[in-house]
Amino acid sequence: MSNMPLPSSFNPAGIELDRRQGLSRQLYQALRVRVLDGRLASGTRLPASRDLAAALSISRNSVVRAYDQLYAEGFIEGRVGDGTYVAQLPQAAVSVKKLSTKLSTKVSTGFSTGLPTALSTNWLDLPVISSSKVIHRGALGRVEKNHLALPPSGPPRAFRVGVPAFDLFPFEVWAKLNAAFWRKPDLQQLCYGDPAGDARLRGLIAAYLRSSRGMQCTAGQIVITSGAQQGISLCAQLLVEPGDTVAIENPGYQAAGHAFAVAGARLQGVAVDSEGIECAQLAELGDCRLTYVTPSHQYPTGVVMSLARRLELLAWAERTQGWIVEDDYDGEYRYSGAPLAPLAALDRQGRVLYVGTFGKVAFPALRLGYLVLPPSLVDAFAQRRAVDMRHSEVSTQAIMAEFMAAGHFQRHIRRMRRAALSRRNCLLNHWPMSIEGVGNLPAVMAGLHMTVPVSSVARERELIEYAESVEVEVNGLSNYWLPDSQTPLDQRAGLVLGFAAVPEPAIEAALARLRKVWCD
Amino acid sequence: MSNMPLPSSFNPAGIELDRRQGLSRQLYQALRVRVLDGRLASGTRLPASRDLAAALSISRNSVVRAYDQLYAEGFIEGRVGDGTYVAQLPQAAVSVKKLSTKLSTKVSTGFSTGLPTALSTNWLDLPVISSSKVIHRGALGRVEKNHLALPPSGPPRAFRVGVPAFDLFPFEVWAKLNAAFWRKPDLQQLCYGDPAGDARLRGLIAAYLRSSRGMQCTAGQIVITSGAQQGISLCAQLLVEPGDTVAIENPGYQAAGHAFAVAGARLQGVAVDSEGIECAQLAELGDCRLTYVTPSHQYPTGVVMSLARRLELLAWAERTQGWIVEDDYDGEYRYSGAPLAPLAALDRQGRVLYVGTFGKVAFPALRLGYLVLPPSLVDAFAQRRAVDMRHSEVSTQAIMAEFMAAGHFQRHIRRMRRAALSRRNCLLNHWPMSIEGVGNLPAVMAGLHMTVPVSSVARERELIEYAESVEVEVNGLSNYWLPDSQTPLDQRAGLVLGFAAVPEPAIEAALARLRKVWCD
């Protein structure tokens, strides 16, 4: 073992590790905290892993794992042949905790995204709103037919978006747990329950998020929801007043836009670049109440939000006292490195509301999700849920708790990750090489779908029609944009492909059919 | 068989019965239609059952059952020794269908109930609303603690309100159905589903309501909900705009009031007399958008709304183009005669939204209910539900459908009705005779709870405290009133007692404990 002196600016003595807990995770957190609070300044050279291991008397493996995670998240960087350094992070983000609690909201001057203030076209033409008025005003209470896009139902097909490899769910185990619950139910559980959800499940979710996401949350911060959609909808109902501006990624997740629009929000689309939502554009919006983002795997482009951008977004929320709704809908799926730290794990001012779901690990129809809330918001959310529906069905919660406690959940996540990776590879390997007007496949580091650029919206429509003719489901990227976006129409075109819904043979068969109609 | 001539004003020739269907139900409906449209005028003498049976060539039993139902519902009346006559019904109700579609809304002049227009006190002090504003305005996003009354949780005790005899639920059957569903799930069912709910369950509910409630509804009118509360809440969200007046029974069901208040309604309490909500007072409210009622068994007083009052209420809705939300939360429990026809079965203008639940037949934590909607409203409700939460958990719906299709549901309803009756009788038989300040027990014809008058609110509080000291749950009637009701405070006092939650020995034991602390 070498015993080289550690770089002088780095003091491992300040790092205290509890040997009863995971050492790698603790080291990762200790280093992250020091980067964020400036104790480890940008450019600081870190000790080689074997030296730090020796200094802390832990295994080198633990140090390597901690470094890997910090590297994946952008906190540190390597220079070839020259060791490991603390990365350059945006100054505002690193120092923001030193600012006093509230700054006056910066008012933007004359900035306009060109987006409409009224909800009038395309996927925001939400008759859920207008119908309410029709109901009121119409003499006969007639409601016109409307055009709210619902997720596709029917048997899973290639390349449906938003559906995991749920054919691999251990239904036999789930059936047994169900039978066990119902054969000897605790009568007390069958009365009215806590609107925030089953206490045991809340505790297990908090523990899972602490260990898998580095979130320092407690059971008391968890509110169980009917899927991610109810989590988003509750945020909209409780945090947004009619007329408030809400920023959403553009292109983005339509169903979230619907939930905010129903609450009366004035939606503003903010562009997404290779690092995630463009915070500079967000800052120029001026008075913005809330920003909805998908940092783990941007929906639908697949971009993973960089650490710098995450910190910049948090700085925006702290500066403006705005809210961030972080939808981590498929954060379990990351194929290189561990998942990045969610915004909720980096948040120190209680500005982030984290939306999680079991739908992408188990199956969508389970309708089981959760919110992780700043403690001061928990009561209001639980009570609103009580007024809306009292609470979720009891057995699903209790059985998921048992599924987690017995270790099935962790095993299943690993199985699902492997399956998604293998299905992703199958799609990448069998994708037709040259399709007219279709760009290159992206690197797919995370999630359950990928997005491929197409030369024009006309060509996009054509490809989708051909696909539909051979019973292959392909989504058009152009559908995910807000109306009147500044991005030229043809730059909005693309194909969104879910790769996890069906097994490899079905993927290959679908691609063979696509090759015929697309390439001939 | 006698062959007396039928009364001259009655023409059975117009009644056509389909022999493949239930004859008694068809005859009941044919007669009811004729009473409502005036073909059978008030005071018309009906033929004796055996004569009508002979004229229609059906069994006398079928006629007797139809007459019994019409009698129970108030459409016909008997005069001792003098046969059966069409009852006197309010003229407005009977003739209203002849009015042209829409009348101008009558504006009331100077009427005031003395109720507050702001939601400021007592059980309407709903921080779910105010907290939303606190969240917006407070620099730190702090939400104050609040006072929303939640239904009691914990093990069932005497005399909890709103809980059926769910210790009798066939859990073994339910466990088997669960295991069967999960062992071989239809993968298609595990994707995203229809926000209106499982198609098979919707069909079975419609069939159940047609046969048990005389409602002419189709599966397409059913929207599955997460319990009755979500049904009420959706009505509030979709039919009420901020500032609209909503009439609720006073005393009434708090959780419904909360749902309407959250939607921004201005709540107006309307008194309840021995026939149900006072329609004269309702009519004087002027511009009222919606009325929420519990006609089968008024919550909490236990009054069954008379047929005359039902028709008067429907006439109000048709005249003002108002909506009626009919919460039939425990309509399965009727101990003398068949259940009365719900408003939804009498409605011809599509003004009634019917709220049903499985919670009072199975158990509350099932969170399974449904709405029966006028066809023109179905799409808007389903889509709003999709934005709120997509849809309900899939297995509960599919398993309830199987439970119904296999006949378990009907058997269970009969079992639950018998149990509730027996527990009611136990409470009536063992109730202490003379408790200071406590009035007589009422006749309990329906439902799962009863209300007993008390001489003052002070005495009510005292009795409840004594009860709590011996671990008996008793609710104070005074809690169910809107603030600033015109009814003098002491006339609002009473005890609300649920009698179904625990078996007879536990009821007797609780009454023995109450006797000690109340009577000694």
Written as one string, the DSSP assignment of B192-240 is ---TT--HHHHHHHHHHHHHHH-----GGGEEEESHHHHHHHHHHHHH-
Which helix (H) or strand (E) segment holds residue B254: the answer is helix B254-262
Q: How far, in Å, CA of A19 to CA of A21, rounded?
A: 5
Give B91-157 as a 3 state SS string. HHHHHHHHCCCCCCCCCCCCCCCCCCCCCCCHHHCCHHHHHHHHHHHCCCCCCCCCCCCCCCCCCCC
Average pLDDT over residues A217-226: 97
Average pLDDT over residues B262-277: 95
Which chain A positions have a beta carbon within 8 Å of B259's beta carbon? 387-388
Question: What tens digit of pLDDT does each residue of A241-252 get?
Answer: 999 999 999 999
Interface test with A, best of B182, B239, B241 (most A CBs within 10 A): B182
Cα B326 from chain centre: 6
More confident residue, B278 or B55: B278
* Residue A245 C-alpha, separation from nearest chain B C-alpha, in angstroms: 12
Q: How far, in Å, CA of B284 to CA of B395, rounded?
A: 47
* Residue B125 C-alpha, separation from nearest chain A C-alpha, in angstroms: 13
The values of phi and psi at residue A488, to 5°, are -55, 145
Residue B420 pLDDT: 97
* Residue A327 C-alpha, separation from nearest chain B C-alpha, in angstroms: 15
Interface test with B, best of A147, A191, A233, A262 (most B CBs within 10 A): A191
Using pLDDT thresholds of 50, 70 and 90, give the confidence band for residue B127: very low
- pLDDT greater than 60 at residue A317: yes
Using pLDDT thresholds of 50, 70 and 90, give the confidence band for residue B8: low
Helix A60-72 vs helix A49-56: crossing angle, to nearest 10: 120
The values of phi and psi at residue A318, to 5°, are -70, -40
Q: Which residues pair with B272 in a beta bridge?
A: B277
Residue B40 pLDDT: 86
The values of phi and psi at residue B245, to 5°, are -85, 135
Average pLDDT over residues B146-164: 80
What is the Cα gyration radius of chain B? 24
Closest residue, chain B, to A153 (C-alpha): B192
| Angle (nearest 5°) at CA B125 between B492 and B110 | 65
Average pLDDT over residues B169-195: 93
Residue B216 pLDDT: 92
Cβ-nearest to B135 among A140, A174, A239: A239
In the three-class reduction of DSSP (H, G, I as helix; E, B as strand; rest coil), residue B392 is classed as: coil
Asked if A239's CB is within 8 angstroms of B150's CB, the reply is no
Interface test with B, best of A160, A190, A325, A353 (most B CBs within 10 A): A190
Distance from the first to the final alpha carbon of chain B: 63
* Residue B197 C-alpha, separation from nearest chain A C-alpha, in angstroms: 11
Which chain A positions have a beta carbon within 8 Å of B323's beta carbon? 141
Q: Is the dihedral of CA B265, B389, A151, A153 positive or negative?
A: negative
Cis preceding linkage at A127, omega within 30: no
Return all residues near A8 (Cβ < 8 A) that are at least 6 apart: none
Asked if A155's CB is within 8 angstroms of B188's CB, the reply is yes
Q: Which residues pair with B266 in a beta bridge?
A: B245
Which chain A positions have a beta carbon within 8 Å of B367's beta carbon? 389-394
Which chain A positions have a beta carbon within 8 Å of B238's beta carbon? 131-132, 135
More confident residue, A12 or A48: A48
Closest residue, chain B, to A194 (C-alpha): B153
More confident residue, A158 or A92: A158
In the three-class reduction of DSSP (H, G, I as helix; E, B as strand; rest coil), residue A211 is classed as: helix
Average pLDDT over residues B278-292: 95
* Residue A414 C-alpha, separation from nearest chain B C-alpha, in angstroms: 21
Give B13-54 as a 3 state SS string. HHCCCCCCCCHHHHHHHHHHHHHHCCCCCCCCEECCHHHHHH
For the beta carbon of residue B256, count every other beta carbon within 10 angstroms: 29
- pLDDT greater than 70 at residue B34: yes
Q: Which residues pair with B372 in a beta bridge?
A: B222, B354
| Angle (nearest 5°) at CA B310 between B416 and B16 | 85
Q: Which residues pair with A158 in a beta bridge?
A: none
Which chain B positions have a beta carbon within 8 Å of A239's beta carbon? 132, 135-136
Size of interface A-B (CB pairs under 8 A): 295
Residue A357 pLDDT: 97
- pLDDT greater than 70 at residue A14: yes
H helix intervals, A214-277: 227-239, 254-262
Least reliable range by pLDDT among A436-440, B23-27, B318-322: B23-27
Helix A23-36 vs helix A60-72: crossing angle, to nearest 10: 40
Query: Whose structure tokens read 């929906």?
Result: A299
Cβ-nearest to B148 among A241, A367, A386: A386
Written as one letter, the residue type at B186 is: D
Helix B227-239 vs helix B378-389: crossing angle, to nearest 10: 110
Q: Which of B194, B192, B193, B220 is nearest to B205 (CA)?
A: B220
- pLDDT greater than 60 at residue A183: yes
Q: How far, in Å, CA of A50 to CA of A6, rounded?
A: 11
User: Exposed, middle or buried: residue A417 (CB in 10 Å: 0-12, 13-18, 19+)?
Assistant: middle
Residue A139 pLDDT: 24
Determine contact, residues A170/A412, Cβ cutoff 8 Å. yes
* Residue A440 C-alpha, separation from nearest chain B C-alpha, in angstroms: 30
- pLDDT greater than 60 at residue B146: no
Residue A421 pLDDT: 96
Which chain A positions have a beta carbon within 8 Å of B227's beta carbon? 389-390
Helix B171-183 vs helix B394-405: crossing angle, to nearest 10: 120
Return all residues near A274 (Cβ < 8 A) that are at least 6 apart: A303
Percent of chain B scored above 90 by pLDDT? Answer: 63
Question: What tens digit of pLDDT does each residue of B424-453 get?
Answer: 999 999 999 889 999 999 989 999 999 999
Interface test with A, best of B99, B157, B163, B178 (most A CBs within 10 A): B178
Question: What tens digit of pLDDT does each residue of A74-92 get?
Answer: 788 876 567 888 887 765 4
Size of chain B, expressed as the number of residues it contains: 520
Average pLDDT taken over every residue of chain A: 84
Sheet holding B266-273, edge to edge: B222-225, B369-372, B352-357, B323-327, B290-293, B245-250, B266-273, B276-277
Cβ-nearest to B365 among A128, A189, A368: A189
- pLDDT greater than 70 at residue A2: no
Average pLDDT over residues A128-143: 29
Which chain B positions have a beta carbon within 8 Å of A146's beta carbon? 379-380, 383
Percent of chain B scored above 70 by pLDDT? Answer: 85
**CA distances (Å), B328 to each of A197, B223, B276, B304, B339, in order?**
26, 15, 14, 11, 11
Using pLDDT thresholds of 50, 70 and 90, give the confidence band for residue A8: low
Residue A89 pLDDT: 73
* Residue B358 C-alpha, separation from nearest chain A C-alpha, in angstroms: 12
Asked if B132's CB is within 8 angstroms of A241's CB, the reply is yes
Determine contact, residues A340/A451, Cβ cutoff 8 Å. no
Residue A270 pLDDT: 97
Determine contact, residues B93/B319, Cβ cutoff 8 Å. no
More confident residue, A340 or A232: A232
Question: What tens digit of pLDDT does each residue of B454-472 get?
Answer: 999 999 999 999 999 999 9
Closest residue, chain A, to B153 (C-alpha): A192
Asked if B230's CB is within 8 angstroms of A389's CB, the reply is yes
Cβ-nearest to A390 among B143, B175, B229: B229
Q: Is the dihedral of CA A318, A319, A320, A325 positive or negative?
A: negative
DSSP string, A5-48: PPPTT--GGG----TTS-HHHHHHHHHHHHHHTTSS-TTPEEPP
Closest residue, chain B, to A157 (C-alpha): B188
Distance from the first to the final alpha carbon of chain A: 62
Using pLDDT thresholds of 50, 70 and 90, give the confidence band for residue A6: low
Average pLDDT over residues B483-500: 91
Asked if A376's CB is within 8 angstroms of B225's CB, the reply is no
3-class SS shares of chain A: helix, strand, coil, % to 5? 45, 10, 45
- Model pTM score: 0.82
Q: In A330-489, which ranges are E strands?
A: 352-357, 369-372, 449-453, 475-476
Written as one letter, the residue type at A399 is: I
**CA distances (Å), B104 to each of A98, B90, B320, in order?**
63, 21, 7
Residue B83 pLDDT: 80
Least reliable range by pLDDT among A230-239, A305-314, B129-138: B129-138
- pLDDT greater than 70 at residue A27: yes
Q: How far, in Å, CA of A298 to CA of A278, rounded?
A: 12
Q: Is the dihedral of CA B176, B178, B182, B188 positive or negative?
A: positive
Sheet holding A245-250, edge to edge: A222-225, A369-372, A352-357, A323-327, A290-293, A245-250, A266-273, A276-277
Question: What tens digit of pLDDT does each residue of B372-413 get?
Answer: 999 999 999 999 999 999 999 999 999 999 999 999 999 999
Closest residue, chain B, to A373 (C-alpha): B141
More confident residue, A55 or A422: A422
Cβ-nearest to B150 among A154, A176, A386: A386
* Residue B4 C-alpha, separation from nearest chain A C-alpha, in angstroms: 48
Residue A13 pLDDT: 67
- pLDDT greater than 60 at residue A138: no
* Residue B349 C-alpha, separation from nearest chain A C-alpha, in angstroms: 9
Instruction: Output the six-digit token pair for A311.
Output: 């910190």
Closest residue, chain A, to B290 (C-alpha): A136
